[in-house]
Each structure stands twice: as C-alpha cells, then as structure tokens.
C-alpha cells in the first residue's frame, strides 16, 4: 500500500516536471534566440544561468500579462524599461529576486534584439 503511494507520488511529480519544462521552452523562442540572449547576458552578469533567463521569461509571460498584453521589449529603451519595471514590479507583486530576474531577461533580450 505504502509502495503504491510512493509510486503514484513519483508519477504525479514527473508529470508536473514535464509540463513545466514544456512551458518554459515554449515554441515562441527558438534555441538560436535563447543562445543569443544567453551570450549577451553572460557578458553583463557572468554568473547568470540559463535557468535564470527561463525564470525571467516566465515571470514576464505570466505575471506581466495579467492586466495588459505583452509589451514589446524592443519598443523602449533600457532607461524607460527600468522605470516601467520599477513601477510595475509592485503591481505584479514581484519579490526582489523575481524583479532582478525579470530585469535581466528584458535587458538581455533587448540587447540581443529579440522581441
Ligand atoms: C495590476 C495590473 C498590472 C500588472 C500586474 C502589470 N501592469 Fe504594467 N501597466 C498596468 C497599467 C494600468 C498600465 C498603464 C497605466 C500606467 O502607466 O500606470 C501599465 C503600463 C505598463 C507599461 C507602459 C509604460 C509605463 O511604464 O506605464 C509597461 C512597459 C508595463 N506596464 C510593463 C509591465 C511589466 C514588465 C509588468 C510585470 C512586472 C507589468 N507591467 C505588470 C497594470 C499592470
């Protein structure tokens, strides 16, 4: 009985992990774009990981589209983005770390010329 429980817990968590990774690497971003973003990001923040960019992107796609559509990253300067992010982070209830991940994703995408 106990064994069955463990097996089903494992099964359910595998299912969620699979869903999650599918969502993060969704079709709108090609591997080539992701590599471009990462190479820009590495120059600015040498300790950055692929997972940080994935998290920033997922924060952007979920928390920042609750009240309005997705804003075009390329349509504003970095200075403008910084002030919008400062204004929007509390609206989206982002913590300090989430705000930093989002900022890095947006700045790196902009510099890489993506979105
Ligand atoms: C609770 C609702 C809400 C959430 C969540 C939200 N926004 Fe906004 N956003 C607004 C409203 C309302 C406006 C337009 C009025 C204004 O400028 O305050 C706006 C405007 C903007 C603008 C236009 C320029 C500007 O600075 O006003 C940008 C860019 C933006 N949001 C980005 C974001 C980002 C990035 C996030 C995620 C961190 C986010 N928004 C989350 C409500 C929201």
Over residues 3-39, the pLDDT tens digits come to 766 556 556 555 555 545 444 444 468 899 999 999 9
What angle is formed at CA 110 by the lines to CA 69 and CA 101, rounded to 5 degrees? Answer: 75
Q: Find the mean pLDDT for residues 73-99.
A: 98
3 CA distance to ligand 1 centroid (A)? 49
Give per-residue pLDDT as tens, 49-75: 999 999 999 999 999 999 999 999 999
Q: Closest Cα to atom 42, ligand 1: which residue?
A: 67
88 CA distance to ligand 1 centroid (A)? 5
87 CA distance to ligand 1 centroid (A)? 7
* Distance (Å, whole) CA 103 – CA 8: 39
* Distance (Å, whole) CA 110 – CA 74: 6
């Amino acid at each position: 009985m106990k064994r069955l429980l463990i097996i089903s817990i494992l099964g359910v968590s595998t299912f969620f992990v699979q869903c999650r990774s599918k969502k993060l690497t969704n079709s709108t971003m090609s591997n080539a774009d992701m590599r471009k973003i990462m190479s820009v990001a590495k120059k600015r923040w040498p300790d950055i990981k692929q997972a940080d960019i994935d998290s920033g992107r997922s924060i952007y796609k979920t928390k920042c589209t609750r009240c309005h559509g997705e804003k075009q990253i390329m349509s504003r300067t970095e200075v403008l983005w910084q002030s919008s992010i400062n204004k929007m982070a509390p609206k989206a209830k982002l913590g300090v770390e989430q705000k930093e991940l989002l900022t890095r994703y947006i700045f790196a995408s902009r510099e890489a010329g993506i979105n």
